[in-house]
């Protein structure tokens, strides 16, 4: 029987959704089944948990934390998350540097573990995307500040995808293996 993975995702401008889709493609290429769900949909419409052998949650870091609905979903579904193999990944631009691309070195991952009643054992840090032209002026300014502090790009025309897509595919194969 094929294993079926659920990938739940939450971001603001679509990059987390794109990473979730890449995970899905990797799971399917490796012989599994996979569904994607936005966490807003999962929260309000519910999840048919019996269909899934493993679950992955992915969220973008926005101003040092995560969209509130991620924690609401986790709180309301903690027992189901814990009832099957599970994994959490985060997306941030600070993870573009190797030191901040590890679970221990990424303070946002530590923050997630502080805020979440669900304590996933399997964690993954993924570098996100800088997209100044598409961000609102206020967000652009704030992220330019973060970048200045972390010696990253501040040119307001920059669009830089820091995601290592082969590594995301490896993670997809890894989560399928978790379900076995």
Ligand X SMILES: Cc1cc2nc3c(=O)[nH]c(=O)nc-3n(C[C@H](O)[C@H](O)[C@H](O)COP(=O)(O)O)c2cc1C
The residues binding ligand X (CB under 6 A) are: 11-16, 60-64, 91-94, 128-129, 135, 139, 143, 146
Identity of the residue, 53 or 131, whose beta carbon is nearer to ligand X in the bound complex = 131
Identity of the residue, 54 or 93, whose beta carbon is nearer to ligand X in the bound complex = 93
Identity of the residue, 10 or 178, whose beta carbon is nearer to ligand X in the bound complex = 10
Least distance to ligand X from the beta carbon of 19, Å?
8
Rounded to the nearest angstrom, the gap between the alpha carbon of residue 74 and the centroid of all alpha carbons in its chain is 14
Least distance to ligand X from the beta carbon of 26, Å?
18
Which tokens go with 63?
């101003």
**Could you tell me whether strands 54-60 and 4-10 are parallel, antiparallel, or unpaired per DSSP bridges?**
parallel
Number of H helices, E strands in the chain: 6, 7
Identity of the residue, 64 or 133, whose beta carbon is nearer to ligand X in the bound complex = 64
Residue number of the CB atom closest to ligand X:
11
Least distance to ligand X from the beta carbon of 139, Å?
4
Rounded to the nearest angstrom, the gap between the alpha carbon of residue 152 and the centroid of all alpha carbons in its chain is 21
Which residues make Cβ contacts (< 8 Å) with residue 87, sequence separation at least 6? 54, 55, 56, 57, 120, 122, 123, 124, 174, 175, 178
Least distance to ligand X from the beta carbon of 13, Å?
3
């Amino acid at each position: 029987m094929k294993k079926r993975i659920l990938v739940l995702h939450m971001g603001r401008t679509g990059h987390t959704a794109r990473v979730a889709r890449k995970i899905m493609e990797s799971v399917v290429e490796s012989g599994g089944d996979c569904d994607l769900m936005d966490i807003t949909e999962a929260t309000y419409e519910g999840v048919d948990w019996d269909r899934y052998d493993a679950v992955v949650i992915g969220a973008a870091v926005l101003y040092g934390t995560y969209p509130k609905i991620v924690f609401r979903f986790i709180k309301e579904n903690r027992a189901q998350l814990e009832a099957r193999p599970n994994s959490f990944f985060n997306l941030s631009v600070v993870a573009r540097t190797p030191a901040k691309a590890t679970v221990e070195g990424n303070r946002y991952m530590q923050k997630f573990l502080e805020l979440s009643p669900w304590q996933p054992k399997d964690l993954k840090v993924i570098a996100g995307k800088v997209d100044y032209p598409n961000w609102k002026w206020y967000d652009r300014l704030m992220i330019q500040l973060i970048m200045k502090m972390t010696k990253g790009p501040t040119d307001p025309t920059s669009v830089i995808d820091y995601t290592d897509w082969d590594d995301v595919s490896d993670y997809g194969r890894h989560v399928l293996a978790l379900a076995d």
